[in-house]
Amino acid sequence: METDVPQALKHLARLLDLRKRQGDQPYRVVITLAASLNAEVRKAICHSESWSDLRAYLQQLGLHDRLGVLAYGLALQEASQNLIGYRALARLCKQGYFTTILTGGIDASLERAFVSENVGLEQLCQLVLGRESEIYLQEKLRDHARRREILLLKLFGSLEAGLLAPDFPDLLEFPSPLREILEHELNEDLIIIGSPTQEEAILRLLSTTSRSSIYYVSPQPPAEDDRLLRIIEARHRESAPFLIWGTYGQPTHFFAELEALLRSQQALTVTVTEQETQSAAFPAEAAQQAIEQRVVSPPAALLTGGARALQPGLHADVLLVTVTEIEAQAVLALFSQVERYYIDQKTYYLLGEVSGTSLVMVQSEMGQGGVAGSLLTVSEGIRHLQPRAVIMVGIAFGLKPDEQHIGDILVARQILAYELQAVVAREGQRSVRLRGDRVTASPLLLDRFKSGVKSWSGQRVQFGLLLSGEKLINDKEYRDQLQALEPEAIGGEMEGAGLCAAAQHHKVDWILVKAIADWADGFKHVNKERRQRKAASNAARFTLHVLAQGGLAPLATGLAQTG
């Protein structure tokens, strides 16, 4: 066991103590599924440490058997490990250091730890997603701080309640409007215990531009492509001051040592001085606020629009264009404060700034033609807002189901409008060929999006030719005919041709980013809403990931450093 307590853990204890003394809201604690369903437990359940093997094994079982094998594996874990640490956590909650715990654990270890520390039902509010109604969950999440309750929210379900998340062992999406409340909670200051790889729904809500802190606690050092690591680095430029791994990254040792530090006279009497802020191990954001304000509680700051209210006649750096309601909601869900402006026939949604790039979203009707189609919507948006670039974000159909997956992100290197065709009959044989030109997306945007892939840890991103036309295709025979005309195409959609026509006419950079929601094969109706939400969310999150790199800010020219 290591003898030296990590500096990040010592500084976290200082911040928690200062926060309690000043009456500021506590850090939220997120305990991931990996913290309880560790490699040892996974191996006990399915004879493999692999999450994919565990997933495949559980999918073969009915609900009763799933619960049974999980209970067996988790009983081994509880007997030897986390319960001691959870009892320390319960004592810290009693003392007011924490009031909100979101956990991926489905066993009752946490609840038993609170009972062992004499935390009664009048103090502890236990909630399980899938058991309580959404209205009740919303009320409790909003009001538990006022009621001075300790809130324990189980995200994946509960063995005792006989509930499991539908996608267990994954957590892919929170229901709306609960998602909006959880987004607020998750963009406050956090301590995340264990790798959140399985908690896609949580990672999706973590803003890369929030100024709130995230301490990442894990037995193993995060991999270079760890998504949570990338989020921390996007917020604070460096991750080392926020990482606690090794022996003290295990829940038992982490909470026990944290409790010891908070008990010690040194942790209680320490003050933040300007000399301490020179240390590379001390988080710069928290230190600066501690010196200037004596408050170590940065306000929740998601992607807010308050700093720059755009008026008609002014410009946005980037105009985001969506079409369907699911696409629009996927973009809006990434921003905490959205303002509406009405200009002529359209509503423009002011999203704020990301890495110095001001963003506005507008929603088009389906297809490129018509008074509200993509051609006129993009043209009017360019005229009113004078953006540097237009990015269309949404869903598409895939053309290569043997190679692609639902949710894969397609970035248009080129767009080909397939409606312009030559149909020729010769000697009783009819031949069809496409007559439209391949239009290449902006070299600047292609460069920025290709660069963004290098640090993207989400679902696959594919660059290539996309077909665009006015038809909503849900027929395998017609789809195959299009694919035969352009075997190189990787997908298709309905609005891209209008986007590139309008942007080229106004000499504005453009690109199309859409993720696969179906295969246009007659089965769009199968899991339609779920697939579309996944695709729209992937496309929106990847676009935001690229924008957060800073390469589209007005001053991002020449040899600008990306950090």
pTM confidence score: 0.50
**CA distances to 185, 214, 234, 292 from 188, in Å:** 6, 9, 16, 20
pLDDT at 516: 95
Q: With a cut of 70, say whether residue 289 has pLDDT above it.
A: no
pLDDT of 195 higher than 80: yes
Decide which of 557 and 5 is more confident: 5
Task: Give the rounded percent of residues in the chain with a pLDDT score beyond 70.
Answer: 83
Which of 329, 352, 355 lies closest to 339 in space, CA to CA?
Answer: 352
Rounded-to-10 torsion of CA 457, 513, 356, 345: -150
The pLDDT, as a whole number, for residue 304 is 38
What b/e string do you get for 536-558 counting C-beta neighbours within 10 Å, with b at 16 or more?
Answer: bbbbbbbbbbbbbbbbbbeebee
CB-count exposure of residue 430 (10 Å: 0-12, 13-18, 19+): exposed
- The CATH number for 318-547, chosen from 2.20.25.90, 3.40.50.300, 3.40.50.1580, 3.30.160.270, is 3.40.50.1580
Q: Could you tell me what percent of the chain has a pLDDT over 90? A: 35
Q: How confident is the model over 64-84, as pLDDT tens digits? A: 898 888 888 887 655 446 678
Q: Find out whether 392 and 496 touch, Cβ atoms under 8 Å.
A: yes
pLDDT at position 307 over 80? no
Give residue-wise pLDDT tens across range 36-75.
888 888 888 998 989 989 989 998 998 889 888 888 888 7
Q: Does this chain's domain 7-38+81-293 share its CATH topology with 318-547?
A: yes
Q: Give the mean pLDDT of 270-292.
A: 38
Main-chain dihedrals φ then ψ at residue 504, nearest 5 degrees: -65, -40
Q: How far apart are CA 208 and CA 198, in angstroms?
A: 19
**In this structure, what token pair is assigned to residue 258?**
């944290």
Q: What is the Cα–Cα distance from 267 to 261, expressed in whole angstroms?
A: 6
Q: Domain 7-38+81-293, CATH 1.10.10.60 — does that match?
A: no
Written as one string, the DSSP assignment of 266-309 is HHHH----HHHHTSTTS-HHHHHHHHHHS---PPP--S--TT--
Closest CA to 33 of 155, 142, 125: 155
What is the mean predicted confidence (pLDDT) over 366-380?
81
- The pLDDT of residue 299 is 28
Read out DSSP for 480-533?
HHHHHH-TTEEEEESSHHHHHHHHHHTT-EEEEEEEEEE-SSS-TTTTHHHHHH
The answer to whether 303 and 211 have CB atoms below 8 angstroms apart is no
Q: Read off the pLDDT of residues 466-499 as tens digits, 9 standing for 90 and up.
A: 998 877 888 888 888 888 888 899 999 989 888 9
Average pLDDT, stretch 392-408?
93
Q: What are phi and psi of 218, to 5 degrees?
A: -155, 145
- Please, which pLDDT band fits residue 562 given cuts at 50, 70 and 90? very low
Q: State the Cα angle at 305 between 303 and 307, rounded to 5°.
A: 110
Enumerate the domain spans of the chain: 7-38+81-293, 318-547
Whether pLDDT at 436 is above 70: no
Report the pLDDT averaged over residues 255-277: 61
pLDDT class of 90 with cuts at 50, 70, 90: very high
Q: Tell me: pLDDT of 273 over 50.
A: no
Residue 267 banded pLDDT, cuts 50, 70, 90:
very low
Average per-residue pLDDT for the chain:
82
Please state, in angstroms and rounded to a whole number, the distance separating the CA atoms of residues 47 and 536.
36
DSSP code at position 128: E
Tell me which amino acid residue 487 is: P
